[in-house]
Chains A and B, each alone.
Chain A
Amino acid sequence: MHALNEAEMRSQPPFSEPSANRKKIFTLPFVLAIFAVMALGVISLFTGVYDIWGQADGRDMFFITRVPRTIALMLTGAAMAMTGLIMHLVTQNKMVEPTTIGTTEWAGLGLLAVYLLVPGPSLVLRMTGAIVFSFVGTMIFFLFLRRVRLRSSLIVPIMGLMLGAVISALSTFVTLYFNMSQVIENWFIGSFAPVQIGRYEYLWIIVIVTVILFLYANRLTIAGLGEEVAATLGVNYNRLIVLANALIAVCVGIVAAVIGNIPFLGLIVPNIISMVRGDDLRSNLPWVCLMGMGTITLCDIIARVVIMPFEVPVSLILGTVGAVVFILILLRQRRSRRLR
């Protein structure tokens, strides 16, 4: 579970130039993975019902819907996978991600609050509501985690899921009371179908988040080791937790407002990466982003092809596949007795 590569730390003399034996990012597998994801992107560009070659306005159509959709997929995939990674680091628990600790439900409640306060709210307003609420929700959970002594690491997602259930009960109550539940239900199933020019551009904020995360990667890794260790190493723990939380809230909030609920991506991608590569945030981060992009693009292509003239929401595919993969990960860890 340790986020720092201990062997690597020990091998370095203190205060030396760290770049000498830091893991390289652009290795051959990584370049190959980039090509694979690009290939998926190209397939995504040419998957759809509308005949972009035959029709006269095919070219326009291509740039109005297909290109934005593929970009949105890439950005969302990277964002959700990264949120999972940050959460794993900060909580030192690999079962934690926006779906399993209720952040998504909080974002939904935020959207609902905006809909209730402002009739016909703009996208910026909805996004703000979602971001603020997910920040508050994640903060509550982190505070709770810091206060309690845990007997088992599995109890954390169980509590988080219960918390999420409470929040969604609250949302149900509000929607029933104001008779708007199908609106919300339709929103809550994440889908890339409505993405087109002018409706997805806010997702670009995710690029900024990625850059910030990359800059703070080492410090966040230290924060993950706990308050005392962080203080010893001269890192301001509380400020970093708030920062991590803000990054999570921005990602989840934007995705919630623009796309909807994207379940399990933050859980399966970082877990698979850390199974293969171990835990080193700096060199894993590009991998996590890339694989998040690849996974969600693949799921979206499946979602578009499976009942061809129509399409299913991508969150269904992710929810089903993600649940299966999550259970497989749990069982695998059970075998190796890493779970207590």
Chain B
Amino acid sequence: MSTLDIGLATNTGGSLRARTTGAFRTRRDARRYWMLLILFIGVGLLATLGLILYKNPVPVDSPSFIPVVKRRLTAVVAMFIAALCHSFSTVAFQSVTSNRIITPSLLGYESLYSFIQTSVLFFFGAATLVKFTGTGAFFLQVALMIALSLILFGWLLSGKYGNLHLMLLIGIIIGAGLNAVSGLMRRVLSPSEFDLLQARLIGSVNNADADYFPIVIPLVLVTVLCLYQLSRKLNVLSLGKDVSTAFGVNYQANIILVLVLIAVLMSVSTTLVGPMTFFGFLVALLSYQAAPTYDHRYVLPMAFAIGFCILTSAYMLLYHVFRAQTVVSVIIELFGGIAFLIVILRKRSL
């Protein structure tokens, strides 16, 4: 695989010195990349420190410091996981679909998630929904989501008629159908039950339960490492089916592998912190700007750094400066949505 490093420099046809096979076009680009990466990680860490320490009523040396910090730490870990899941899955997804304006959250994970939550409340009542948080429930939901995506990929991507866009569209339509069903169930709810449900359905790191971490963190880390290992293949896959085949990469098998990894990340994140549709899109968009390369070995870390930086600083600012606790994720979504609109209106081809 090592020969597949496709440097941009070969296309520019500049001076001989610029003709490198590295990931960046010029030294300046490389320097800019590393500086931005350090900057984002730095801001992210600062915001993390701020989240943990700012307005903490207990001094650091007090014995009750650890329990107090624990709750804040849970939120920070949840942000870490969410950033990891969304950044890696969105960038990888956009590469395998060769389309930089779609996100994996389109595939109906969120609809399935809200369908499961709503039907638990609808069929078993509010008491069960409050209890529906254990490790078993968590894994049940993750397993259901992965199963759905496996069925979808296996059915529509393999074989003679395999077509990525068709798979996407059908995924979206299944999502719409599920939304119709959960919409009906929600209509019959009393307002208090509705409020309970809505708190679950809006993404928030405060939904995260620390009990899951021992299982979730290794799972996410292993998946992310697998994706990172596939970076060079992703570089090729993003060039489309014909080029990939010409380079000797088994297009269909690799795409399904990548999509399964994406499904794991998306379902874990959706179950842990709730749906976030445009966060991943925003992160991927910014990371392409910040990392002027097509090499996923560099784009993926940058995407993660940006995602973590956005999440922590947004929570930091909105919690402690603007005092708007409930709407953080909605605001991130709003920014992502607006960014999407701007990008789509400036696009020339799809």
Query: Which residues from chain A sit less than 8 Å from chain B, CB to CB?
Result: 95, 99, 140, 144, 147-152, 154-155, 157-159, 161-163, 165-167, 169-170, 172-173, 176-177, 181-182, 185-186, 188-189, 263, 312-313, 315-316, 318-320, 322-324, 326-327, 330, 334-335, 337, 339
- The reply to whether B349 and A186 contact each other, CB–CB distance below 8 Å, is no
Given contact pairs A173-B327, A189-B187, A149 touches B334 in the complex (Cβ within 8 A): no
Given contact pairs A163-B344, A170-B337, A149 touches B349 in the complex (Cβ within 8 A): yes
Report Cα–Cα, A157/B176, bound state, in Å: 13
Contacts of B163 in A (CB 8 A): 154, 334, 339
Residues 262-298 of chain B: 1 if any A CB is under 8 Å from the residue's CB, otherwise 0?
0000000000000001100000000000000000000
- The reply to whether A323 and B173 contact each other, CB–CB distance below 8 Å, is yes
- The reply to whether A157 and B341 contact each other, CB–CB distance below 8 Å, is no
Given contact pairs A169-B333, A172-B330, A149 touches B106 in the complex (Cβ within 8 A): no
Q: How far is the CB of B306 from chain A (nearest CB, A)?
A: 20
Contacts of B278 in A (CB 8 A): 165-166, 169
- The reply to whether A154 and B166 contact each other, CB–CB distance below 8 Å, is yes
Report Cα–Cα, A170/B99, bound state, in Å: 24
Given contact pairs A176-B330, A182-B191, A185-B183, A159 touches B170 in the complex (Cβ within 8 A): no
- The reply to whether A95 and B176 contact each other, CB–CB distance below 8 Å, is no
Q: Does B181 have its Cβ within 8 Å of any Cβ on chain A?
A: yes
Q: Does B179 have its Cβ within 8 Å of any Cβ on chain A?
A: yes
State the main secondary structure of chain A at its contact with B.
Answer: helix
- The reply to whether B166 and A339 contact each other, CB–CB distance below 8 Å, is yes
Q: How many residues of B contact A (CB 8 A)?
A: 46
Query: What are 26 sample pairs from A and B whose C-beta atoms fall under 8 A apart?
Result: A95-B169, A147-B347, A148-B348, A154-B165, A158-B165, A159-B101, A159-B344, A159-B350, A162-B106, A162-B344, A163-B340, A169-B277, A170-B334, A170-B337, A173-B331, A173-B334, A177-B327, A185-B187, A186-B187, A312-B184, A318-B180, A320-B181, A323-B177, A323-B180, A327-B174, A330-B173
Q: How far is the CB of A109 from chain B (nearest CB, A)?
A: 12
Give residues 178-200 of B contacting A (CB, 8 Å): 179-181, 183-184, 186-187, 191, 194, 198
Q: How far is the CB of B312 from chain A (nearest CB, A)?
A: 21
Q: How far is the CB of B271 from chain A (nearest CB, A)?
A: 20
- The reply to whether A161 and B101 contact each other, CB–CB distance below 8 Å, is no
- The reply to whether A313 and B187 contact each other, CB–CB distance below 8 Å, is yes
- The reply to whether A166 and B340 contact each other, CB–CB distance below 8 Å, is yes
- The reply to whether B334 and A334 contact each other, CB–CB distance below 8 Å, is no
Contacts of A151 in B (CB 8 A): 349-350
Report Cα–Cα, A182/B106, bound state, in Å: 24
- The reply to whether A149 and B348 contact each other, CB–CB distance below 8 Å, is yes
- The reply to whether B350 and A155 contact each other, CB–CB distance below 8 Å, is yes
Q: How far is the CB of A325 from chain B (nearest CB, A)?
A: 10
Contacts of A323 in B (CB 8 A): 173-174, 176-177, 180
Q: Does B168 have its Cβ within 8 Å of any Cβ on chain A?
A: yes
- The reply to whether B172 and A158 contact each other, CB–CB distance below 8 Å, is yes
Closest 7 pairs between A and B when the two form their complex, measured CB to CB: A319-B180, A323-B177, A166-B337, A154-B165, A149-B349, A316-B184, A169-B337
Report Cα–Cα, A318/B176, bound state, in Å: 11
Report Cα–Cα, A169/B179, bound state, in Å: 15
Given contact pairs A327-B174, A339-B166, A189 touches B348 in the complex (Cβ within 8 A): no
Known: A157-B169, A166-B278. 15 other contacts (CB 8 A): A95-B169, A148-B350, A163-B341, A166-B340, A169-B277, A172-B330, A176-B202, A176-B327, A182-B194, A186-B187, A189-B183, A263-B176, A323-B174, A326-B173, A327-B174
Residues 307-350 of chain B: 1 if any A CB is under 8 Å from the residue's CB, otherwise 0?
00000000000000000001100110110011011001101111
Report Cα–Cα, A279/B329, bound state, in Å: 46
Given contact pairs A320-B180, A330-B166, A330-B169, A166 touches B350 in the complex (Cβ within 8 A): no
Q: Does B102 have its Cβ within 8 Å of any Cβ on chain A?
A: yes
Contacts of B337 in A (CB 8 A): 165-167, 169-170
Contacts of B168 in A (CB 8 A): 154, 158
Contacts of B170 in A (CB 8 A): 327, 330
Report Cα–Cα, A150/B101, bound state, in Å: 13
Contacts of B347 in A (CB 8 A): 144, 147-148
- The reply to whether A316 and B180 contact each other, CB–CB distance below 8 Å, is yes
Contacts of A166 in B (CB 8 A): 278, 337-338, 340-341
Contacts of A150 in B (CB 8 A): 349-350
Contacts of B341 in A (CB 8 A): 163, 166
Contacts of A161 in B (CB 8 A): 106, 172, 176
Given contact pairs A151-B349, A161-B172, A316-B181, A181 touches B161 in the complex (Cβ within 8 A): no
Given contact pairs A144-B344, A185-B187, A155 touches B334 in the complex (Cβ within 8 A): no
Contacts of A176 in B (CB 8 A): 202, 326-327, 330
Interface centre among A158, A335, A339 (most CB of B within 10 A): A158
Report Cα–Cα, A158/B344, bound state, in Å: 12
Report Cα–Cα, A138/B172, bound state, in Å: 20
Contacts of B184 in A (CB 8 A): 189, 312-313, 316
Contacts of B161 in A (CB 8 A): 334-335, 337
Residues 87-103 of chain B: 1 if any A CB is under 8 Å from the residue's CB, otherwise 0?
00000000000010111
Given contact pairs A162-B101, A169-B333, A173-B330, A324 touches B177 in the complex (Cβ within 8 A): yes
Contacts of A335 in B (CB 8 A): 161
Contacts of B186 in A (CB 8 A): 185
